[in-house]
A and B are shown apart, each in its own frame.
Chain A
Amino acid sequence: EAQVTQNPRYLITVTGKKLTVTCSQNMNHEYMSWYRQDPGLGLRQIYYSMNVEVTDKGDVPEGYKVSRKEKRNFPLILESPSPNQTSLYFCASSFGTTHSPLHFGNGTRLTVT
């Protein structure tokens, strides 16, 4: 089954404790991206990647890192999480950015205390 898989689904952590949210897709998509979803603000793009070793900032990259060492994986790294990063995070992928819709994972709900 074609899908985008995120792990974990739920994560509670404390301020400053490094964490990684994994994202994997099995559709051989070149484009992958991360979003956070907050009430009243909608989905906002954090980082995106056009291909292996090619990443770029979205609208809200501060406090986040990503890497794209393999085509299928695009982990999101929070080196020193803070409470304002409490949010619902989604990973998405597509073949490209034109005529190719995004496929989303089921989300990771992160709480930073």
Chain B
Amino acid sequence: QKEVEQDPGPLSVPEGAIVSLNCTYSNSAFQYFMWYRQYSRKGPELLMYTYSSGNKEDGRFTAQVDKSSKYISLFIRDSQPSDSATYLCASNTGNQFYFGTGTSLTVIP
């Protein structure tokens, strides 16, 4: 079983839709959770990070962590064509980082 599981999609939504991206993890020692966005031919860039259960909001993005069910979510409100990218969830324990396989999102104008 992979440390972090993510639905690969692809996901296609109309502009303005609310997008929900989800991951599950298996390691109870994970404390620090991240969402990265990766555009084609680019390295992943950090979008959001949270340390504890609950919600964290940044503009149109909300990261949610539920440690009791080991579930991580990213919500994108009022999605834009520029949000079209691959989204990676990640966590770490000690010195090692673990990533989901990524969900490909396309926002159609």
A20 to B100, CA, bound (A): 27
Please state if B95 and A56 are interface contacts (CB–CB under 8 Å). Answer: yes
- CB < 8 Å neighbour of A97 from B6, B44, B92: B92
A104 to B46, CA, bound (A): 9
Chain B: which residue is nearest A91 at the CB level?
B43
Chain B: which residue is nearest A98 at the CB level?
B32
A99 to B33, CA, bound (A): 10
Please state if B51 and A107 are interface contacts (CB–CB under 8 Å). Answer: no
Contact with B along A75-107 (1 / 0, CB 8 A): 000000000000000101000011101111111
Please state if B96 and A106 are interface contacts (CB–CB under 8 Å). Answer: no
Query: Could you say which interface size class chain B belongs to?
Result: 20 to 34
* B105 CB within 8 Å of chain A: no
Contact with B along A41-56 (1 / 0, CB 8 A): 1111100101000001
Please state if A42 and B102 are interface contacts (CB–CB under 8 Å). Answer: yes
Please state if B8 and A101 are interface contacts (CB–CB under 8 Å). Answer: no
Contacts of B41 in A (CB 8 A): 106-107
A interface residues with partner B (beta carbon < 8 Å): 4, 31, 33, 35, 40-45, 48, 50, 56, 58-59, 90, 92, 97-99, 101-107
* A-B contact sample (17 more), CB < 8 A, given A42-B88, A98-B92: A4-B43, A35-B99, A42-B99, A44-B99, A45-B96, A59-B96, A90-B43, A90-B44, A97-B94, A97-B95, A97-B97, A99-B32, A102-B34, A102-B46, A104-B43, A107-B41, A107-B42
